[in-house]
Structure 1
Amino acid sequence: MGPIIVATDLSPRSDRAMLRAARIAKEQDAPLHILHILDEELPAAILHGHAEDAKKTLQSRVDQTPEIADRNPRVDIEVGHLSRLLPGILSDRKPGLLVLGSHRDRGLAELIGQPSLSRIMAVSDVPILLAVGEPDRDYAKALAGWDFSAAGNAAVDLSRRIAPDASLTLVHAWDDFAAVAPYGGSMGVGASPATVARLEESMESAVADLHKTYPDATIDQHTQMGGAAHVILRLAADRSADLIVMGRHARSGIARFFLGHTATAVALRSPCDVLIAPSS
């Protein structure tokens, strides 16, 4: 795996992202890069002072945290906006994972916002981990949004690298408007028992196929009508999941809009970490 890049705003909650990134970097034997972005609209004189202060603060936190210091991380202070700077940084460093954290008590939206998160996902072909949970333990329960696609498979494969010992539940949900599905038949409100049964069979088949690749993994499935984001978030809360896994599709048009909306909605409201994998 390439370098693990973690973006931090220096808030205590963002420190969780650094700790999780350091943990993954150790497990994957990967370099750790820590990135802090300063607002480019600040006056030049103030910006220079803030950059020096941020560098000292960040280096001090690294030195005082053995789990991070042991990775001998590269620390960078950049000026600009996260969603505009990231494409160049990711292109140059070719990381294996980008880790983002939440901000204070108002969640990820306060750090980068929904439009910025959408832009980051649109310009990045790097897996993204949104770290909001406790970073001092291994992942134990993972949920994977499942739509029978290559992107879903890629997300599950990546999750097995990052969370090899976690149980995994494939989650498939459909909205009223989603009338076409790979398992055939209409999946509207009036879906027949036979149609639902075919879907269940398809999900069980997907579980069986994954067991061939990961014979020692604990894998099951959950199928439910409703908005995908709502179903995934509620199930994550009900089962005390500590990782949600989603694939990002290489599609265009309205399909990309809905898929991107689901990933963003889950990421910004999730009670646990969210791993978003590219389709390849």
Structure 2
Amino acid sequence: MRILVATDFSPRSQRAVRRAGILAAQSGGKVILMHVVVGPNSQETSQDIREAQRMTVEQVAVVPELFRIPCEPLVVRGCPSAEIPDAAAARDIDLIVVGASHRAPTRDSGRTLRNLIRSAPCPILVARRFAASPYARILIPVDLSDASARALRSAGSLKLVDGAHVTVLHAFEAPGKSKLSGFAVARDQIDSYVEGCRSKSAEDVEALLASVGLAGRGWSRWMEEGSAQEAIARLAGRLPADLVVIGTHARTGFRKALLGSVTEHVLSTGGADVMVIPPDTPGGCRRFGPPTRAGWPEARQPAPRLVLGQASATGASRHTEPHHRGRACGGDASFAMHFAP
């Protein structure tokens, strides 16, 4: 696996670098350590570039997780949310890793992260926790859409799920449930109706896993009535999850305002690391022109179903074991503002 990790030498980006080293060790991969110098093409910026080159080499030498990991330092001038996707596409990167706070991001950092996700040619891992070992508990929310299928395929193909306990979560709604009480329907009948919806959701999830060739992976399934945002937050805290893997529809404009975005909600709240799987692009992977380097040598499905229902009063949920057991900077002033304290 080829991993590009963004660094500005801050504590937050240090978490990202360490996580990249752990993932590279798991997969026998390579790490490209990238720093973006923001500023005009001036003598002062050239000095910043030379200093960044020196610090990047030092970081490779001192981070223990990078020991014996093939590493390539890369320093470029430009806008982080543009240069990082460019470098990832030019080098056939499999995963981009960036550091972020375990708390909710600021307005500027959130905008930069959204811009990066929308233009990235590969999955992006947002490292928010201290990295000391491979992921042990991974949560993959699915809404039975193409985005969920991409998330499952990526989790299966990347080595970060190896050895981890993986839970696939589906939040479902029982249409018309709130009206049944008004028609004097007995409580046990309402509960039976909800259980029927739960069983149908479990079948749909099983079909989704089978469609991407993952039905036999031994992952747990969890069906929960309510909104996706609330279900993810509850289960991620209950497990507790080290990593949440989620596909994004990357909606913009009116549709996004109308439907909301589960992905943005997960990113806007603190907690576990988050891996975002961006949409596929027409014709395959995005391709960009090569970035402006600063002195380093060349390196080498099921139908969509939205889950936006109202949470149940009881927050009922059911955990089932595996089936066999039942481009714009946006006014960026500096890279450090967005990926560092």
Identify the TM-score tier after normalising by the shorter chain.
0.7 to 0.9
Secondary structure of the structure 2 residue equivalent to 1:135: coil
1:231 maps to: 231
Superposition map of 1:22-101 within 5 A: 22-40=21-39, 44-101=42-99
Deviation per residue, 1:18-58 (Å, 9 max, x gap): 111122122222221111112225x8233222222222222
Task: Indicate conservation of the 8 Å contact 1:118/1:260, yes or no.
Answer: no
**1:12 and 1:140, CA in 2 relative to 1: closer, same or farther beyond 3 A?**
same
What is the CA–CA distance in structure 1 between the aligned matches of 2:264 and 2:233, rounded to whole Å? 12
Report the alpha carbon displacement of residue 129 of structure 1 after superposing the two structures with TM. Answer: 0.7
3-state DSSP of counterpart to 1:223: strand
Per-residue CA shift, 1:214-243, capped at 9, x if unaligned?
5352312131313x3343123212221101
User: For residue 169 of structure 1, what is the aligned residue in structure 2?
Assistant: 167
Q: Tell me how far apart the structure 2 counterparts of residues 198 and 158 of structure 1 sit (CA, whole Å).
A: 31
Residue pairs, 1:91-130, within 5 angstroms: 91-102=89-100, 108-109=105-106, 113-130=109-126
- Give per-residue Cα distances to partners, 1:184-232, cap 9 Å, x unaligned: x736754854553343113322454438735352312131313x33431
Which stretch shows the higher mean deviation, 52-61 or 189-198?
Answer: 189-198
Q: State how far apart, in whole Å, the 2-side matches of 1:32 and 1:214 are.
A: 31
Residue among 175, 186, 189 paired with 1:186: 175
1:262 is displaced (CA, Å) by 2.3
Counterpart residue number, 1:249: 249
> What runs of 5+ residues in structure 1 fail to find an aligned partner?
175-180
Deviations 1:86-119 (A, max 9, x none): 332232112111111115x766548x62222222
Partner of 2:138: 142
Q: Corresponding residue for 2:240?
A: 240
More helix by share: 1
The percentage of aligned residue pairs carrying the same residue is 25
With 135-144 and 79-88 compared, the bigger mean Cα shift is at 79-88
Aligned length: 266
* Structure with more contact order per residue of length (Cα contacts < 8 Å, sep ≥ 6): 2
| Cα gap change, 1:194 to 1:94, in 2 (>3 Å) | farther
Say which of 146, 150, 154 aligns to 1:154. Answer: 150
What secondary structure sits across from 2:130 in the alignment?
A: coil
Q: Is the 8 A contact 1:102 1:109 kept in 2?
A: no
Change (3 A) 1:216 1:172: closer
Structure 2 counterpart of 1:177:
none
Q: Judging changes above 3 Å, is the alpha-carbon distance between structure 1 residues 17 and 258 closer, same or farther for their aligned structure 2 residues? A: farther
Change (3 A) 1:254 1:221: farther
SS of alignment partner, residue 126 of structure 2: strand
1:233/1:259 CA distance change after superposition, 3 Å = farther
Q: Secondary structure at the match of 2:244?
A: strand
Higher alpha-carbon deviation: 14-23 or 26-35: 26-35
- 1:178 — aligned with what? none
Q: TM-score, normalised by structure 2?
A: 0.68
Report which of the two structures shows the higher radius of gyration computed on alpha carbons: 2
Give the TM-score of the pair, scaled to structure 1. Answer: 0.81
Rounded Cα–Cα distance in structure 1 between residues aligned with 2:72 and 2:169: 37
Over aligned residue pairs, what C-alpha RMSD do you find?
Answer: 2.9
2:186 equivalent to 1:202: no
